[in-house]
Amino acid sequence: AQLADMVDLDGPLWLAEDRADGLRYDGATIHPPTAALWG
């Protein structure tokens, strides 16, 4: 995403149902998914 003009980091907030072990939100901070997400 370094060369992207825009990156949508909060897109998962709009999902009706999120994936287990996905992004974790802590206030305004977005933490990366755990290794369990990738298997």
| 23 neighbors 31 (Cβ within 8 angstroms) | yes
pLDDT tens, position by position, 1-39: 688 898 887 776 777 677 888 888 898 888 888 888 888
- Tell me the residue type at 10: D
**What is the chain's Cα-based Rg?**
11
Residue found by looking up tokens 């999120």 in the block? 18
User: What pTM does this model have?
Assistant: 0.51
Tokens standing for residue 22: 């996905």
Helices (H), 1-39: none
Q: What is the pLDDT of residue 1?
A: 63
